[in-house]
Amino acid sequence: MASTQTSLSPVDIARTAALASRTLKAVSGGDRNAALTAVHDALEKSKSVILEANQKDMEAAQKLVEAGKMRESLAKRLFLSQSKWEGMLEGILEVRDLEDPVGKVTLATRLDDGLDLYRLTCPIGVLLVIFEARPEVIANITALALKSGNAVILKGGRESTNSFAAIARVVSEALATTTIPPGAVQLVETREDVSALLDQDQYIDLVIPRGGNELVRHIKENTKIPVMGHADGLCAIYVHHDADESKAVKVVLDSKTDYPAACNAVETLLVHESTAATVLPKIASALLEAGVSLRCDSLSKAALQSSTLDAAKKVILQDSTEEDYNTEFLELTLAVKVVSGLDEAVLHINAYSSGHTDAILTESKEDAESFMNRVDSAGVYWNASTRFADGFRYGFGTEVGISTNKIHARGPVGLEGLTIHKYQLRGHGQAASDYGAGKKSYLHQTIENVEI
């Protein structure tokens, strides 16, 4: 079977994936697309079984939340809602219908007559993807891995055991009917397997963790395999002195409340000192009305206390601590701070941000460009919600995760981030010693209308 929950040892799992990846590279784009169609159709037919399994996970998670052993935000990520279900299925088809990312010529140079150099995209090889809670990730990653020609080993969190098993079973049965080679998609269940897999740098080419700070840091500290991901989604929005009031209220409210448990939800609100008594009260009122807890520095709290904000809302304002500006709340809590201007806002963000996504609200193109050029994050936005930081919204079909690393892939990582390149040199018996002083010279001409 192409996909299976395996009883193999971690070394054998990794070795099997490596062998499968070599075969998978030769599977045509049409066959890879057919496999995604098979997975989509099988999941659609098995909806009731999968949602029933997810409900069991939710019931178990709720007990842990009530016992104080699980954060509410993690439980929310676990829930396979109708919108998530539809997004999961739609994402598979979106990926299927994207252009084949494998074998694209990105450079073609004639070094000499009959000596042509090509740079082509190719799969990375074997991916190890470790994720917490979100059961839909299994289908998302399977789609991206197969479309890009990569073998993948998947490990879900123990909190999603039932959902994980149900989806895995469906994916396994679907891929068994296709030309995808055995071992191309493997699913492991135990933490012990993960620890051992992190040692398999001989076979595994890239680790992609999708989870909280603790998970990502643990993986980075315990493997020699390259790791792509982000430890935190500590996003900030800066309200400049000329920010449009209606835009500011709408964007900040959406960034915080659309899905508070998401890594692209805003966690820090910075406001220009001149807006503290004007725009900030309007933003604060909308946030408090939506149930958001505001942790304010002394200047923002004083401005809100002296504003026309309802007395009942003023009472529930909280004092912030230094740690609040370095915290990914993942819930309806927001840290607020007054800054003197653009320079201080940029300094704060570069000091505290996790490099995920940060935004400015301003009507000045010049100031917006300055902010976006100077803030060192994977995503920098002008007058737009941080919630747009998403592979599906970017048109990638879905995403394998969001990378804050400064490597070939940064921001939402779709198919392009799961390919690298190789150089092909096509000659007719030339030797490097044929070229040099007093010998032949290189042409280094761009080849037009490439056909290989």
* Domain enclosing residue 245, as ranges: 235-394
Tell me which of 335 and 390 has the higher pLDDT: 335
Distance (Å, rounded) from C-alpha 452 to C-alpha 443?
20
Note whether 85 and 136 are within 8 A (CB): yes
91 shares its domain with 184: yes
Q: Exposed, middle or buried by CB within 10 Å (0-12, 13-18, 19+), for 388? A: middle
User: Within a domain: residue 452?
Assistant: no
For residue range 140-182, what is the model confidence (pLDDT) as tens digits? 889 999 999 999 999 887 888 899 889 988 998 999 999 999 8
Contact 357, 378 (CB under 8 A): yes
Per-residue pLDDT reduced to its tens digit, 222-247: 999 999 876 678 999 999 999 999 99
Helix (H) or strand (E) holding 333: strand 333-339
- Residue with the larger pLDDT of the pair 124 and 194: 124
CATH code where residue 282 lies: 3.40.309.10
Q: Are residues 295 and 378 in the same domain?
A: yes
pLDDT digits over 213-222, tens only?
677 888 989 9
Q: How many CA atoms lie within 13 A of 192 on its CB side?
A: 3
pLDDT of residue 317: 96
Helix (H, G, I), strand (E, B) or coil at 337: strand
Helix/strand number for the chain, H first, E second: 16, 18
Proportion of the chain above pLDDT 90, given as a percent: 72
Shared domain for 185 and 302, answered yes or no, is no
Which of the four pLDDT bands, split at 50, 70 and 90, describes residue 132?
Answer: confident
* pTM exceeding 0.85: no
pLDDT of residue 182: 86
Q: Can you give the CATH number for the domain in which 192 is found? A: 3.40.605.10
Q: Domain check: are 224 and 243 in the same one?
A: no
Interacting residues of 408 by C-beta distance below 8 A, sequence separation 6+: 417, 420
87 with 61, same domain: the answer is: yes
Strand partners, 41: none
Structure tokens at 5: 């929950």
Q: Are 291 and 161 in a shared domain?
A: no
The number of domains in the chain is 2
Q: What is the pLDDT of residue 191?
A: 74
Residues near 389 by beta carbon (within 8 Å), at least 6 away in sequence: 235, 264, 356, 357, 378, 379, 402, 411, 412
Any domain includes 148? yes
Residue 228, pLDDT score:
87
Percent of the chain with pLDDT over 70: 97
Residue 328 domain-assigned (yes or no): yes
**Eight-state DSSP code of residue 205:** -
- Tokens 């003197």 — which residue? 340
Q: Is residue 399 part of a domain?
A: no
Q: Do 189 and 266 share a domain, yes or no?
A: no
DSSP bridge pairs for 118: 108, 424
> Are residue 264 and residue 220 in the same domain, yes or no?
no
> Does residue 359 sit within a domain?
yes
Residue type, 441: S
Sheet with 105-112, side-by-side order of all strands:
419-426, 115-123, 105-112, 445-446
Measure the CA–CA gap between 109 and 57, rounded to whole angstroms: 55
Collapsed DSSP state (helix, strand, coil) of residue 111: strand
The widest CA-to-CA distance across the chain, in whole angstroms, is 88
* Beta-strand relationship, 126-131 and 206-210: parallel
Same domain, 225 and 240: no
- Is residue 1 scored above 50 in pLDDT? no
Is residue 424 situated within a structural domain? no
For residue 439, being part of any structural domain is answered with no
All residues at 6 or more sequence positions from 298 whose CB lies less than 8 Å from its CB, including other chains:
319
The reply to whether 450 falls in a domain is no
Going by the DSSP 8-state scheme, the letter that residue 405 receives in this structure is: S
- Residues 186, 331, single domain; the answer is no
Q: Per residue in 190-206, pLDDT tens? A: 777 888 999 999 999 99
Taking residues 380-384, report their average pLDDT. 97
Amino acid residing at 195? S
Residues contacting residue 394 through CB under 8 Å, at least 6 positions apart? 388, 411, 412, 414
**Same domain (yes/no): 339, 290:** yes
Task: Read off the pLDDT of each residue in 325-351 and give the average, rounded to a whole number.
Answer: 96
Same domain, 415 and 356: no
Computed over every residue of the chain, the mean pLDDT equals 91
pLDDT tens-digit readout, 50-92: 999 999 999 999 999 889 888 887 788 889 999 999 989 998 9
Beta bridge pairs of residue 206: 127
